[in-house]
Amino acid sequence: MLRSTTHLPLHGGKAPAWLFDRMHRLAGSVVQLIVEDRGPGEMLRRLADPLWFQAFGCVLGFDWHSSGLTTVTCGAIKEAYRRLGDDLGVHVAGGKGGASRKTPDQIADVADRVGLPGDRLIHASRMSAKVDSSAVQDGYQIYTHHFFFAADDWCVVQQGMNDTNGYARRYHWLGSTVEDFVCEPHNAVASPPADGTDLLNMVARPATGSRQRSVELARMEPGRVLREVSVGPSLFMPVHHPVERADINPGRLERVLRMTCEHQPADFESLLSLPGVGPATIRSLALLSELIYGEPACRRDVTRLWTPTDPATFSYAHGGKDGHPFPVDRPTYDQSINLLESAVRRAKIDPAGKDQALYRLSTWCGHVSARM
Please state the domain extents for the chain: 8-193+303-370, 205-293
Q: pLDDT in tens for each of the 372 residues of the chain?
A: 344 445 565 666 677 898 899 999 999 999 999 998 899 999 999 999 988 898 888 888 876 566 788 999 999 999 999 999 999 999 999 999 999 999 999 999 999 999 999 999 999 999 999 999 999 999 999 999 999 999 999 999 999 998 888 888 899 999 999 999 999 999 988 777 777 778 899 999 999 999 999 999 999 998 888 877 765 544 444 343 444 555 566 677 788 889 999 999 999 999 999 998 999 889 889 988 887 888 888 888 876 444 445 555 666 576 667 666 667 888 888 888 888 888 888 777 666 555 655 555 556 555 555 554
Q: Is residue 274 classed as helix, strand or coil in its secondary structure?
A: coil
Q: Which residues pair with 317 in a beta bridge?
A: none
Of residues 135, 136, 159, 137, the one with CA closest to residue 146: 159
193 DSSP assignment: P
Strands 141-149 and 91-96: antiparallel
Q: HSE (CB half, 13 Å, CA atoms) of 49? A: 14
